């Protein structure tokens, strides 16, 4: 399929569950609602789909090991708890929701959402909803994510949720929004023929990202500083926002030095559905 005019990404593949993966020609990514609809697909629960899985299958899987307390909650999940009113989780396993009108997107697992109108879009996410002006889940919220990875050379490595190098374990930021972030990154040497176990470095970024209607991002870093180290370098690290909606922490190590990297990412999200920015 060719790129549609004015769009920088296009469909790459349709998975068995109907989810459509897009690409910019090099990287895989998830589209926003406008892009999904432009290519003639449906946008459901924050996911672009070619079709919806059989309702018969969904009903068989629904509410296995799920505890619900409250009213008007919708859950098709396993091993989860839903407490409050008008919350919705879809195919989200091992999760916890407490509050009002919160959402966990389809296929997002091991997440916690509390407050009002929060929306978890990442596995292993801790999300506090900020009310969303009583309009839409995910407009105002505070989220905490963790990404990790390992290096043994000077090659670039992007950090992923759970250290899993797959598309749905990347950090994605919403369109039409401004996102304030604080990131704590640490690198710990675990050996290698040229490495000394115990060497480390820790780093902090504080900044802001503006994400327009197409997900094109402008990043402003106000604080970037080393917090502590043993005085030796273990590699380099940077924030990459060149792909729409994808927020990457990229590291590179040293040849024959085994290093594990871990970052805690705190996101303050202010998204609008009133205007395109």
Domain boundaries, the chain: 10-49, 61-138, 143-271
pLDDT tens-place string over residues 142-154? 999 999 999 999 9
Residue 154 half-sphere exposure toward CB, CA atoms < 13 A? 3
pLDDT of residue 154: 95
Distances (CA, A) of 89 to 56, 137, 190: 17, 12, 39
pLDDT of residue 34: 86
Quote the CA–CA distance of 197 and 272 in Å, as a whole number.
Answer: 47
Top pLDDT among 62 and 236 is at 236
User: CA triplet 15, 16, 19: central angle to 5 degrees?
Assistant: 45
pLDDT tens-place string over residues 44-63? 767 888 887 654 444 444 45
Return all residues near 127 (Cβ < 8 A) that are at least 6 apart.
Answer: 102, 111, 112, 113, 114, 115, 118, 119, 120, 141, 142, 143, 144
Distances (CA, A) of 204 to 191, 223, 228, 260: 24, 7, 10, 17
pTM for the full predicted model: 0.78
**Span 26-41, average pLDDT:** 86
Q: Which of 67-81, 134-148, 212-226, 243-257 has the lowest mean pLDDT?
A: 67-81
pLDDT value at 135 more than 70: yes
CA 152 to chain CA mean position, Å: 26
For 143-271, CATH number?
2.60.40
Q: DSSP labels for the chain?
A: -PPPTT-S-EEEEE-TTSBEEEESSSSEE---HHHHHHTT-EEETTEEESSPPPHHHHHHHTTBT-EEEEES-EEE-BS-EEEEES-EEES--S-EEEEES-EE-TT--S-EEEEES-EE-STT-EEEEE-GGGT-TTSEEEEEEEEEEEESSSSEEE-EETT--SGGGSEE--SSEEEEEEEEEEEEEEE-TT--TT-EEEEEEEEEEEE-TT--EEEEEEEEEEEEE-S----EEEEE--STTEEEEEEE--TT-EEEEEEEEEEEEEE-SSS--
Is residue 158 a contact partner of residue 183, using CB atoms and an 8 Å limit?
Answer: no
pLDDT of residue 24: 87
Identify the sign of the CA torsion 52, 133, 218, 265: negative
Q: Which of 67-71, 132-136, 152-156 has the lowest mean pLDDT?
A: 67-71
Quote the CA–CA distance of 248 and 27 in Å, as a whole number.
Answer: 12
Top pLDDT among 121 and 77 is at 121
* Average pLDDT score over the chain: 90
Q: Which of 15-19, 33-37, 115-119 has the lowest mean pLDDT?
A: 15-19
Top pLDDT among 71 and 185 is at 185
pLDDT of residue 56: 41
């Amino acid at each position: 399929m060719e790129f549609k005019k004015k769009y920088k990404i296009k469909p790459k593949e349709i998975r068995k569950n109907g989810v459509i993966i897009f690409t910019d020609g090099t990287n895989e990514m998830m589209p926003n609602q406008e892009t999904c609809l432009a290519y003639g697909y449906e946008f459901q629960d924050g996911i672009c789909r070619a079709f919806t899985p059989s309702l018969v299958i969904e009903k068989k899987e629904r509410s296995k090991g799920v505890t619900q307390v409250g009213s008007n909650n919708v859950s098709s999940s396993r091993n989860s708890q839903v407490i409050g009113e008008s919350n919705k989780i879809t195919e989200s396993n091992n999760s916890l929701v407490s509050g009002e009108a919160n959402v966990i997107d389809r296929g997002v697992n091991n997440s916690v959402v509390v407050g009002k109108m929060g929306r978890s879009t990442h596995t292993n996410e801790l999300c506090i909803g900020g009310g969303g002006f009583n309009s839409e889940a995910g407009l105002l919220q505070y989220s905490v994510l963790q990404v990790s990875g390992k290096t043994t050379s000077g090659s670039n490595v992007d950090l992923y949720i759970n250290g899993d190098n797959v598309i749905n374990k990347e950090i994605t930021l919403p369109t039409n929004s401004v996102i304030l972030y604080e990131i704590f990154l640490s690198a710990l040497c675990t050996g290698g023929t040229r490495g000394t176990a115990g060497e480390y470095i820790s780093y902090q970024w504080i900044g802001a990202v503006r994400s327009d209607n197409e997900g094109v991002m402008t990043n402003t870093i106000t604080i970037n500083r080393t917090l502590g180290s043993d005085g030796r370098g273990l590699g380099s690290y940077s924030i990459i926002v060149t792909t729409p909606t994808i927020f990457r922490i990229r590291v590179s190590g040293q040849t024959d030095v085994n290093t594990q990297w871990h970052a805690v990412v705190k996101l303050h999200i202010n998204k609008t559905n009133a205007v395109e920015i």
